[in-house]
A and B are shown apart, each in its own frame.
Chain A
Amino acid sequence: MTELMDFDEALAAFDPAMGLEVHVELNTLTKMFCGCRTEFGAEPNTQTCPTCLGLPGSLPVVNGKAVESAIRIGLALNCEIAEWCRFARKNYFYPDMPKNFQTSQYDEPIAFDGWTEVEVDGQTYRVEIERAHMEEDTGKSLHVGGSTGRIHGADYSLVDYNRAGIPLIEIVTKPITGTREKAPAVARAYVAALRDILLGLGVSDVRMEQGSLRCDVNLSLAPVGSDKLGTRTETKNVNSLRSVERAARYEITRHAALLAAGESILQETRHWHEDTGVTTSGREKSDAEDYRYFPEPDLVPVAPSREWVEELRGTLPEPPREHRARLQALWGFADLEMRDVVAAGAIPVIEATVAAGTTPQAARKWWLSDLARRANEQGVDLADLPITPEQVARVQALVDEGALNDKLARQVIDGVVAGEGDPDAVVAARGLAIVSDEGALTEAVDRAIAANPDVADKIREGKVAAAGALIGAVMKDMRGQADAGRVRELIIEKLS
Chain B
Amino acid sequence: MTAGDLVRRSAADLAEALASGETTSVALTQACLDRIGAVDGAVHAFLHVDAEGALAQAAASDARRAAGAPASALDGVPIAVKDVLATGGLPTTCGSKILEGWVPPYDATVVARLKAAGLPILGKTNMDEFAMGSSTEHSAYGPTHNPWDLDRIPGGSGGGSAAAVAAFEAPLAIGTDTGGSIRQPGAVTGTVGVKPTYGGVSRYGLVAMANSLDQAGPVTRTVLDSALLHEVIGGHDPLDSTSIDQPLPALVEAARLGAAADMSGVRIGVIRELGGEGYQAGVQQRFDEAVQLLVGAGAEVVEVSCPSFVHALAAYYLIMPSEASSNLARFDAMRYGLRVLPEGPDGLPLASPSAEEVMRATRDAGFGDEVKRRIILGTYALSSGYYDAYYGQAQKVRTLISRDFAAAFEKADVLVSPTAPTTAFRIGEKLDDPLAMYLNDIATIPANLAGVPGLSLPAGLAPEDGLPVGFQVLAPALADDRLYRVGAALEALLEKEWGGPLLEQAPALAEEGTAR
What residues of chain A have their CB less than 8 Å away from a CB belonging to chain B? 50, 53-62, 89, 91, 93, 95, 98-101, 151, 155, 157, 159, 290, 292-294, 297-300
Contacts and interface: CB of A to CB of B under 8 A. Distances in A.
Contact of B383 (A55, A89, A98, A292): A292
Contacts of B211: 297-298
Contact of B332 (A95, A157, A292): A95
Contacts of A293: 382
B329 A95 contact: no
Q: Which of A101, A151, A298 has the most CB of B within 10 A?
A: A298
Nearest to B199: A300
Is the contact region of chain B dominated by helix, strand, or loop, or is it mixed? loop
B204 interface: yes
Contacts of A290: 383-384
A147 B356 CA distance: 21
B146 to A, nearest CB: 28
B356 A61 contact: no
Given A50-B105, A157-B355, A56 B86 contact: yes
Contact of A61 (B94, B241, B330): B241
A56 B207 contact: yes
A62 B242 CA distance: 11
B111 to A, nearest CB: 10
Given A91-B326, A159-B334, A297-B323, A56 B204 contact: no
A381 to B, nearest CB: 36
Contacts of A159: 334
B99 interface: yes
B204 A300 contact: no
Given A61-B238, A300-B242, A101 B207 contact: no
B242 A99 contact: no
17 contacts: A50-B106, A53-B335, A56-B102, A57-B85, A57-B108, A57-B207, A58-B106, A58-B205, A59-B241, A93-B332, A93-B356, A99-B329, A100-B329, A292-B383, A294-B387, A299-B242, A300-B242
Interface in B380-400: 382-384, 387, 391
A100 B325 CA distance: 11
Contact of B92 (A54, A56, A62, A294): A56
B503 interface: no
B376 to A, nearest CB: 13
Contacts of A157: 355
A57 B240 CA distance: 11
B371 to A, nearest CB: 14
B382 A294 contact: yes
B336 interface: yes
Contacts of B94: 56
A292 B322 CA distance: 9
B87 to A, nearest CB: 10
Interface string B206-240: 11101110000000000000000000000000111
B245 to A, nearest CB: 11
Contact of A58 (B204, B323, B334, B387): B204
A294 B391 contact: yes
Given A95-B332, A297-B211, A300-B242, A59 B204 contact: yes
B106 A55 contact: yes
Nearest to A296: B211
Contacts of A59: 203-204, 239-241
Nearest to B238: A61
B298 interface: no
Contacts of B70: none
B330 A54 contact: yes
B359 interface: yes
Contacts of A95: 332, 334, 355
A100 B208 contact: no
Interface residues on B, range: 35 or more
B104 interface: yes
Contacts of B105: 50, 55
| Top 9 closest pairs, chain A to chain B, by CB | A100-B329, A292-B382, A297-B211, A297-B212, A57-B205, A56-B207, A57-B86, A95-B355, A57-B207
Contacts of B322: 294
Nearest to B352: A155
A89 B326 contact: yes
A291 B379 CA distance: 10
A95 B359 CA distance: 9
Contacts of A292: 325-326, 379, 382-384, 387
A91 B204 contact: no
B206 A57 contact: yes
A56 B355 contact: no
A98 B330 contact: yes
Nearest to B378: A292
A61 B102 CA distance: 24
Interface string B91-103: 0101000010010
Nearest to B332: A100
Contact of B359 (A53, A55, A58, A93): A93
Nearest to A34: B239
B62 to A, nearest CB: 31
Contacts of A60: 241
A62 B387 CA distance: 26
A57 B335 contact: no
A94 to B, nearest CB: 8
B431 to A, nearest CB: 26
Contact of B330 (A62, A99, A298): A99
Nearest to B363: A93
Contacts of B85: 57
Given A61-B239, A294-B322, A55 B336 contact: yes
Nearest to A91: B326
A135 B330 CA distance: 18
A298 B384 contact: no
A100 B335 CA distance: 12
A50 B242 CA distance: 18
Contacts of B240: 59
A299 B240 CA distance: 8
Contacts of A300: 241-242
B35 to A, nearest CB: 29
Contacts of B352: 155
Contacts of B206: 57
B241 A57 contact: no
B497 to A, nearest CB: 42
Nearest to A50: B106
B283 to A, nearest CB: 33
Nearest to A35: B239
Contacts of B325: 91, 292
B329 A93 contact: yes
Interface in B62-95: 85-86, 92, 94
A91 B329 contact: yes
B49 to A, nearest CB: 21
Given A56-B92, A58-B205, 7 more contacts: A55-B335, A57-B204, A60-B241, A91-B382, A93-B356, A98-B335, A298-B241
Contacts of A297: 210-212, 242, 323
A91 B379 CA distance: 10
Q: Which of B105, B203, B205, B241 has the most CB of A within 10 A?
A: B241
A297 B240 CA distance: 11
Interface in B320-347: 322-323, 325-326, 329-332, 334-336
A297 B355 CA distance: 28
B390 to A, nearest CB: 11
A126 B326 CA distance: 40
A7 B330 CA distance: 46
Contacts of A298: 203, 208, 211, 241-242
A429 B239 CA distance: 55
Nearest to B328: A100
Q: Which of A55, A57, A58, A298 has the most CB of B within 10 A?
A: A57
Interface in B101-127: 102, 104-106, 108
A26 to B, nearest CB: 19
A178 to B, nearest CB: 32
A300 B106 CA distance: 24
B447 to A, nearest CB: 17
